[in-house]
A and B are shown apart, each in its own frame.
Chain A
Amino acid sequence: MKPRDMSAPLMSRQEKIITGFWPWFLQRVSGFLLIFLVGVHIWMTHFSGLGDVVRGHQEELVLFEIVKQRLAQGLFIFIDFSLLALVLYHGLNGMRNILLEWGPAARHAAGMTAGLWLLGVGTFIYGAWALLAFIL
């Protein structure tokens, strides 16, 4: 922590060091939204078709055609792309939180954060490209 000039009275000092608020706040917002998005995602892929598989109407829970049919609906395109973006933000922001409390990474916090952003954006592009295989 940077040593602070304690000579001047607090009232006259300009402290402009709010830095951790937005990552903290957005972690909560993304986490809250993910409860619903992940809930729908797991339900659709693992449980909604379970009866059909058990009764033998359907070979497997997840196959290319099944995903393609689901992603023909605009709502699921929206859900899957939001899910991809939010889960990457929430996961990598969480990793940043852990790394900030680990000396070697915390000493290079700016570089570490930039690296995580790069990883996140890159993975989003890759994941979106993969998803488009079902849509286009």
Chain B
Amino acid sequence: MDTITLSVRRGSPEQNTTAYWQEFDVPIVEETMSVLDALIWVQRNVDPSLAFRRACRVGMCGTCGTVINGREGLACGTLLGAAAGNGSGPVRVQPLRHLPVIRDLVTDPGVFFDHLRGVDPSLTPGPGLQEPVVLSPDSRERQTVNPHRECIYCGLCYSACSVAGLDSGFLGPAALNRAFALVSDSRDAAGKQRLQIVASEQGLWRCHTIFECTAVCPKGIPITRAIQGLKRKVIVDRLKNLFRLGR
């Protein structure tokens, strides 16, 4: 049976090991085999100590985010054969960037979720709203908000963001995208406060429109567009304030 070489970045800071690459020859059991399938095969047949995260295996949960051949991707959503360029590899698999490694491919997403919590990611209903409040599916507002609500919080955008790598205090693409989804939603009443949070020094202004987040998002969310949308909202808000001050 044909095999593809899987090269995995391994190591554990707790056991004070230095990171190293380990190669495994994985048989092509199925044409449509994913990188995650290959990792599972290695864990079951070669090395049970290989550590990685996964849950749903169908691209819904956002747990198996890794860096494959230098690019962020969901291991379950990346075909092994395609990643090997229809050859025999090697396919290089690394943990996500900018997050501390716990072991092998498992990272600590703490800082990613801290930033998400920082923008208060839950909807704050205004007074007097009677449930259920719906945005009509064909309304303009719904069209604007919809793609930005697709986020599965896999952290690929955070790993791909060059600024997050330089400044761990930067809110990051996912948190800003969530803030945009809420600020653009008329059912949310905390828009002004949320704009204040994202307009802080380590918020919007650290985004330099590098577009890496948008490129790697497994849900195709136009993240940079969301961040630019927030910037425009703040510009309008600030300039309004300035002219009010002048009066």
Contact = CB atoms under 8 A, between A and B. Distances in A.
A interface, size bucket: 20 to 34
Interface stretch (A10-18, A39-47, A67-75, A115-123): A10-18
Contact of A101 (B124, B166, B190, B197): B166
Interface stretch (A1-9, A83-91, A124-132): A1-9
A102 interface: yes
Contacts of A102: 166
A11 B170 CA distance: 23
Contacts of A106: 167, 169
- The majority secondary structure among interface residues of chain A is loop
Interface residues of B, number: 28
Contacts of A4: 118
A101 B206 contact: yes
A25 interface: yes
A56 interface: no
Interface string B110-146: 0000110110100010000000000000000000000
A100 B190 CA distance: 29
A104 interface: no
- Closest 5 CB pairs between A and B? A20-B205, A15-B196, A101-B166, A20-B201, A10-B190
